[in-house]
Chains A and B, each alone.
Chain A
Amino acid sequence: MTWVTWRQYRYQGALAAALFAALAVVLLLTGLHAAHVWHSALTGCAKNGTCASLTGSGLSLSSPTFLTLVVATSAVPLLPGLFWGAPMVAGELEAGTHQFAWTQSITRRRWLAVRAGWLLLAAAVLAGAVSAVVTWWSGPYNALNADAFQVNRFDITGIVPAGYAVFAMALGICAGTLLRRTLPALAVTLAGFTGLRALTALWLRLHYMTPVTVYYKLTAPFTPAGSYLGISQGWIGPNGQPPVPGPGNYGFDGEAVPAVCEKFMSGPRPDPLPCLMAHGYRGFVTYQPASRFWAFQGIEAGIFVVLAAILLAVTFWVLKRRGA
């Protein structure tokens, strides 16, 4: 069955390998350049003692085109699921070739297991390889911008792309088996994958672990170290509530200034902070520390792999139960 799978997918496999090679070459060249620029900048700032302000210095590591290309690899894990997963069963049903395959001396379960197994592995390897290159390429960027934990950075680096790819493949196979037609299965895979990715990136990921909240004096703002994942930030009063804007409707640093401190908002350099502190106002930041990056990678990859396992179980069950 392995030989059969190879025979049927070798051209697609070669195409995927060629596309990956092309992407790797582009990223290798631009990545080497970015690393070079980054290291010279570090050496330069160390001499001048300006390394603290390097982030806001407008240092350009690469052209925006390549950054866009790297962000676009976010879609890579979807592609094997779309083009190999969705047609895996549905394409056979549409062409009638399942009647050939399933009347050879092999059970449908084994046919599905071997074929799905290799495709899942191929998808994980492809997405993992792209992610490996992207992770290396993003090193200087993430160091410069402290954004490794942000949406569109976290999702294209580390191990999560492999998890996404496994999920997309399982979704494609399952949708194709249930719907029996490639095109609707493609649409379901696209919608399901995009929807779940958006849901995890924008909401679920913030809650994998209990976030850390740090309170700080308003005159000494606190910024978490490194590439943290910010959840919320602002001022709270002694009652634990954010300030209620006064009748003047003043704002300071993007926060509302309460009525008691509004008198400090007039004049050329308004500074309500000492007044706010005197009335018990504090700043807070709720976030996931940068040190949790790999834990979060593991949790998110795990979620997608578990969902993939459920989808595959459904596929096996449907294929066993339903007549061909």
Chain B
Amino acid sequence: MKKFLSILLTLASAGLAAGAIYLMAAAPAEPPRDWPAHMSVQQHALVIAPIDHSYRVAAYLITWAIQLGYLGWLAMKWRPAKQG
């Protein structure tokens, strides 16, 4: 049970971290630095909104990847009270 939980948490952690990296890598391209010459402020906001969203979700996923990864490591070290 302990081993299963530990493996499950480690896999979840790795999956979340991979998801975060994928989200940032696959985010739409950023508009060029001279974007005011090509688009309005509203158009720029529409272009960057999905990029910001991807990065925000990635940050949340990485937070959970770290926390669950640590919990998985703790689960591996855990010994029931009777054995302790």
Tell me, yes or no, whether A binds B: no
A binding-site residues for B, Cβ under 8 Å: none
B binding-site residues for A, Cβ under 8 Å: none
